[in-house]
Amino acid sequence: MLADYGYIGLLLIVAIFFAVTTLLIPFSLSLPARLAIYSRKFRHYIQTRWPLLARFIPPLPSPPKFMQIVPYNPSPVKNSTFECGMETIGKSWVQFNFRYYFYALVFIALDVLVVFLYPWAVELRGLGFSGLFAVLIFIGIIIVGYIYAWKKKVLEWK
């Protein structure tokens, strides 16, 4: 039994490793392009700030074009928030009423009910009718709250 959890833990490590590697491959392929951009920016900075000094600094090596497999060429327009051509007004990280606060409350109550039903479901034949009655009482309590929520129009998306 413990070995099974060991398998799952090891699979978790493999899954994370796979996902991270998949993201790191294009990043590492874009490193030459990034280097080229940064060296050009550095050159530009030096030349505009200290043109006299720039004469004595040799140009930084820029990777050849064929090594720049994954392009990297950010610009303020490209990196702006996409909104179908319109300019974004304000931030997105604001409070807004999404109406599912009550759903979350009802969810918590019902989810606890469901988790308690699982062990009963496995041992149904052993527990017999007494187990079923106990579960019925349990469900009944939750159902009262559910009907109350329905009557209070909590379940309406308005």
Partner 1 sequence: MATQFLPPDWPGNFWAHWAVFTVIILVFLLLTVMAFIWFERRAMAIMQSRLGPNRAGPFGIFQPAADALKLLIKEDVVPAAGDKVVHWLAPVVAFVPVMMVFAVVPFQGGALLADLNVGVLYIVAISSLTAVGIFMAGWSSNNKYSLLGAMRQVASVVSYEIPVVLSLIGVILLAGSLSLQQIVQAQEIPFILVQPLGFLLFFCGALAEINRAPFDLTEADSEIVAGFLTEYSGMKFGLLFLAEYGEALAISAIVTTLFLGGWRGPLLPDWLWFLLKVGAVFFFIVWIRTTVPRVRIDQLMALAWKFLFPLALINLLVTAVEILVWPDVSLWLLVPVNFAVMIVLVLLWSKLFKLGWGRVNV
The residue ranges that bind partner 1 (CB under 8 A) are 1, 3-8, 10-12, 14-16, 18-20, 22-23, 25-27, 29-30, 69-74, 76, 78-84, 88, 91-93, 98, 100, 103-104, 106-107, 110-111, 114, 117-118, 121-122, 124-125, 128-129, 132, 135-136, 139, 143, 146, 150, 155-158
Task: Give whichever of 48 and 75 is closer to partner 1, judged by the CB atom.
Answer: 75
How many whole angstroms separate alpha carbon 74 and alpha carbon 41?
12
Task: Give whichever of 46 and 131 is closer to partner 1, judged by the CB atom.
Answer: 131
Contact indicator for 34, 42 with CB cutoff of 8 Å: no
CB 62 to partner 1: min, Å: 18
Residues 6+ apart with CB under 8 A from 146: 106, 110
Q: Give the pair of three-digit tokens for residue 137.
A: 């009482």
| CB atoms closer than 10 angstroms to residue 68 | 20
